[in-house]
Amino acid sequence: MGHIQITPSILNADFGNLAAEVARIPGADWVHVDVMDNHFVPNLTFGPTMVEALARSTDTPLDAHLMIDDADRNALSYVDAGCGSVTFHVEACKAPVRLAREIRKAGARASMALKPATPIEPYEDLLPELDMLLVMTVEPGFGGQKFLDLCLPKIRRARALMDKHGVETWLQVDGGVSLETIERCAEAGADVFVAGSAVYSADDPDAMIAALRDKAAS
Ligand code: DX5
Ligand code: ZN
């Protein structure tokens, strides 16, 4: 397993002051940007122009989580926008191997996400094509939802498959990650942790990042 990384989501930050909100979390390993199109999920956020502006405003690399239809056609815009990692949903992608290769070739880390009801087993052979696998621990679309414990066995199975294939793929979890749930995720084998409301509802978001990191490592 790689080392623990905390990737706060700005979904619950103040969208009117995003650069300032990102400046409040210097301890973040990545800034997780949730791109939603109101089709793949019933919520709408921002697109590549906004992401590019955000990338220019910070030295912390951006981790784009694309909750959008037709990922095959749209994902590369987020590499061009300056994201260091781009995650597409397998449920919204026609050719995941081709897309992962295109993302890597364009210079970003390629990552694939699974909704809670999507199994990992059919995609086992794709793991060597991926720099990261995202196992969602809520239905994508909104921050502040309750962590779904039913996703823990999948995290465990994904970690076992990564070990079997001997790959360096990171294993990210996203949704309901907090001081209360992060240990369960780490114990199951996750090493990259998205936290949205836990970080941005804290009085000191950067101290919360440090606290989450400590819990995950314990
Ligand atoms: C939800 C998003 C998450 C969200 C997490 O669809 O993908 O990144 O911001 O928020 P919390 O941590 O509040 O569940
Ligand atoms: Zn996300």
Q: Which domains does the chain have, with CATH numbers?
A: 5-217 (3.20.20.70)
User: Is residue 217 over pLDDT 90?
Assistant: yes
174 is catalytic: yes
Confidence of residue 218 (pLDDT cuts 50, 70, 90): confident
63 is catalytic: no
175 labelled as ligand-binding? yes
- Say how far apart CA 146 and CA 8 lie, in whole Å: 17
Indicate if ligand 1 lies below 6 Å from the C-beta of 32. yes
pLDDT digit string (tens) for 146-159?
A: 999 999 999 999 99
pLDDT digit string (tens) for 138-189?
A: 999 999 999 999 999 999 999 999 999 999 999 999 999 999 999 999 999 9
pTM: 0.98
Return the pLDDT at 105: 98
From 34, 63, 131, 191, active-site residue:
34
47 labelled as ligand-binding? no
* Tokens matching residue 142: 């909104």
Residue type, 3: H
Q: Give me the DSSP letters along 26-68.
A: TT-SSEEEEEEBSSSSS-B---HHHHHHHHHH-SSPEEEEEE-
> For a pocket test of ligand 1, which of 62, 194, 201, 209 has the largest count of ligand atoms closer than 8 A to its C-beta?
194
The whole-number average pLDDT for the span 61-74 is 98
pLDDT digit string (tens) for 123-137?
A: 999 999 999 999 999
196 labelled as ligand-binding? yes
The whole-number average pLDDT for the span 82-97 is 98
How distant is the alpha carbon of residue 23 from its chain centre? 19
Return the pLDDT at 2: 56
SS3 174: strand
Residue 111, burial from CB neighbour count under 10 angstroms (0-12, 13-18, 19+):
buried
Cα distance between the two ends of the chain = 14
> Which residue's CA is minimally distant from atom 4 of ligand 1?
143
Q: Are 97 and 136 in contact (CB under 8 A)?
A: no
Query: What is the distance in A from the centroid of ligand 1 to the CA of 179?
Result: 15
* Tokens matching residue 101: 């290769």
Closest by CA position to 198, among listed 217, 173, 181, 184: 181
The two beta strands, 109-114 and 31-36, are unpaired
- Percent of the chain residues topping a pLDDT of 70: 99
Query: What is the distance in A from the centroid of ligand 2 to the CA of 65?
Result: 5
Return the pLDDT at 196: 98
